[in-house]
Amino acid sequence: MGEGEPAPPSVGTGAAGRGGGGKGEFMIDKQYVINEIAASESWRMFHIMAEFVEGFEALGKYHPSVSIFGSTRVRPGDEVYQKAEQIGQLLVENGFGVITGGGPGVMEAANKGAASAGGNSIGLNIEIPLEQKPNPYANITLRFRYFFVRKVMFVKYAVAYVILPGGFGTMDELFESVTLIQTHKIRPFPVILVGSNYWKGLLDWMKETVLKEGKISPSDLEILQLIDEPEEIVKTIKKTVIL
């Protein structure tokens, strides 16, 4: 480099970051801010792609499976926990694997039932600020940083959704599956709500308000099935799936 020739700016460090520099140097550095963001986003895309590839390679061999959702806040001994465990066990005994979010509550119960029956008990764990530890009953565990990648895995490798009482996360998965079926983005599969007392208010509102105001069609409500008995849930899924 010739004498007096300015050194190339260091992207993203800025004059202050190098311990000084004149005003002109600071202005040169500022023009590279967008480039730094673009580079950072590009590397993030590789991480996203890696999560997709890992999920596709890991889960493709576990067909057919059923995705089960519900509250993280139920505990062993709760009726909902016991029912989720029974559903997981029956699904495995009838030739299905079980996919959950890999955490506590309903997820743990469903994984426990699947594992106790000697089947594929899959947990798709997510990295969140309040760390969700994988439950000990998932014998196949994947970790995800991005919710949307994890969501794809739930729906891509499921032949049915079984949705027990839960909060916002559970309802997110519920309405996303209904929307994908309604808009023909995925092949229709059973979306089964478990817990008549729990879901009755939501279903009544959908019929009496959403449907009456023309925001949905009568056929949209037919996507959902309300079934409380674990044996009947498995029987319904088997009617629509070729094992």
- Write the CATH number for 94: 3.40.50.450
Q: What is the mean pLDDT of residues 28-52?
A: 71
Which range in 4-18, 33-47, 143-157 is most confidently predicted, on average pLDDT? 143-157
DSSP-assigned letter for residue 9: P
| 212 confidence band (pLDDT: 50, 70, 90) | very high
Task: Give how many domains the chain has, as a whole number.
Answer: 1
Tell me: cis bond preceding 64? Omega within 30 of 0 counts.
Answer: yes
**Residue at 21 is within a domain:** no
Q: How many CB atoms sit inside 10 A of residue 140's CB?
A: 20
Residue reference for tokens 């983005």: 185
* Spatial separation of the C-alpha atoms in residues 161 and 231, rounded to whole Å: 15
Amino acid at 114: A
Average pLDDT, the chain: 87
* Spatial separation of the C-alpha atoms in residues 119 and 189, rounded to whole Å: 22
Residue among 64, 66, 74 nearest 192 (CA): 66
* Packed helices 79-93 and 106-116: angle between N→C axes, nearest 10 degrees: 40
Q: What is the mean pLDDT of residues 135-155?
A: 95
Which residue range forms the structural domain that includes residue 104? 50-240
**Residue at 73 is within a domain:** yes
* Spatial separation of the C-alpha atoms in residues 173 and 168, rounded to whole Å: 9
**Residue at 132 is within a domain:** yes
Residue 8: is its pLDDT beyond 70?
no
**Residue at 31 is within a domain:** no
**Residue at 131 is within a domain:** yes
Q: What is the mean pLDDT of residues 45-54?
A: 92
**Residue at 56 is within a domain:** yes
**Residue at 188 is within a domain:** yes
